[in-house]
Amino acid sequence: MKKLSKKKRIALIAAAAVVVLFAGCYAFYLNELSAVNNKKQDVVFVVEEGETMDSVLERLQQEGLIKSSTFASLHARISNQTQNIAGIFVLNDQMSTDEILRVLNDPTQVRTDQLLITFPEGRWAKDYAAQIEEQLGINADEILALWNDPSYIETLAKDYSFLDADALNNEEYRVRLEGYLFPETYAFDKDATADEVTRTFLDHFAEIYAKYEEDINASDYSLHELITLASIVQYEAATSEDLIATMRTAGAPVRPAQTSILHTIHICTAVCRSVRSSIREKRRSMLSCIRRKVITIILSLTSTVSAEKRGRCITVRPTSSTSSCRRSSNSCSKRQIVV
């Protein structure tokens, strides 16, 4: 078999290196265009009139819907998907960059029959009801009565497993669904009913709850108890800066946009685990102290017996190990046994 010349071998190696490099770059390019998440979470996205494509892509990246605005911009130009259509769109983080660009470039995807309503954080259910009445025309008292109706909540609980109808059947609650109405921007049909509005809230709550379900189930508390705890934390935090500081104190990574009730619940589960760990540590310390105390008493008794035999007085001093018990018991101090 005829051997290749040195130049040909070098050329083949160089060609192979170029192919491998190209394949690697292409794989990286495809990864940057892939979906951000594998858990579908719908997000209402608004393209403003006159907004540039670069601005739209930057916001998509900031909202966690695409991985890279740079690669998205490159792909948009390659695939000729640079048309900017103003309006309301419903996207989700399970979409790839290409799918998102196709939706934003499709006039039929604009929700012209829907109304966009933003519910700010830190408001009560009664405030949301008033906002719904103002923008959708649904009577506020009617929707509040629905959110307080035990039989209606039992019906909802069949479709939303995170709702505990028994826990919510409490006359002391002003609004039983308070805490399950996630602050966010929603797209409602202009002729939506009170039931459809409620289910839109709960659908979004379910999507985000799924992200924290494992942590919540691992805690010693039910979701409803954690929502109550998180509500107290949010109520006591005078400002969003206070809340962020509380979250960071608990050792949780947080961005300013992540101060909603479910993010606070996530922090509460971490705090609960920390408290349980602290209690277990204190129990271990207490048991260790008791064991040292018992040993000290035994040694004292042994010394007493020995002193009786010699007929003299001895002084038993606590060791360094027993001195740490003084916080738990005053009897760990220096003692004198007279025979």
Structure confidence by residue, pLDDT tens digits, 283-336: 556 556 655 655 565 556 555 545 544 544 444 444 444 444 444 444 443 333
CA–CA separation, 214 and 209 (whole Å): 9
Q: Does an H or E element contain 65, and which?
A: none
**Domain 33-109 listed as CATH 3.30.1490.480:** yes
pLDDT above 60 for 337: no
Three-state secondary structure along 107-124? HHHCCCCEEEEECCCCCC
pLDDT number for residue 199: 95
Structure tokens at 325: 């018990």
Structure confidence by residue, pLDDT tens digits, 219-263: 777 888 878 777 666 665 545 565 556 555 544 444 444 445 445
Task: Give me the residue spans of the domains in the chain.
Answer: 33-109, 119-183+190-213
H helix runs in 221-260, sequence order: 223-236, 240-249
Place of tokens 């509380």: 246
- Taking the alpha carbons at both ends of the chain, their separation in whole angstroms is 106
pLDDT above 90 for 155: yes
Structure confidence by residue, pLDDT tens digits, 88-127: 888 888 899 999 999 999 988 888 778 889 898 878 899 9
Angle between helices 140-147 and 194-218 (to 10 degrees): 40
DSSP codes of every residue in 78-106:
HTT------EEEEEETTS-HHHHHHHHT-
pLDDT above 60 for 18: yes
pTM as predicted: 0.57
The one-letter amino acid code at 66 reads I
The region of weakest confidence among 42-56, 91-105, 134-148, 238-252 is 238-252
Secondary structure of the chain: what % helix, strand, coil (to 5)?
60, 10, 30
Q: What is the largest CA-CA distance in the chain?
A: 107
Phi-psi region of 169 (alpha: psi -120 to 50; beta: other; left: phi over 0): beta
**Contact residues for 46 (Cβ-Cβ < 8 A; gap 6+):** 87, 88, 89, 116, 185
Structure confidence by residue, pLDDT tens digits, 263-287: 555 445 544 544 444 445 555 565 5
pLDDT above 60 for 82: yes
Place of tokens 């209690």: 279
pLDDT number for residue 290: 58
pLDDT number for residue 339: 31
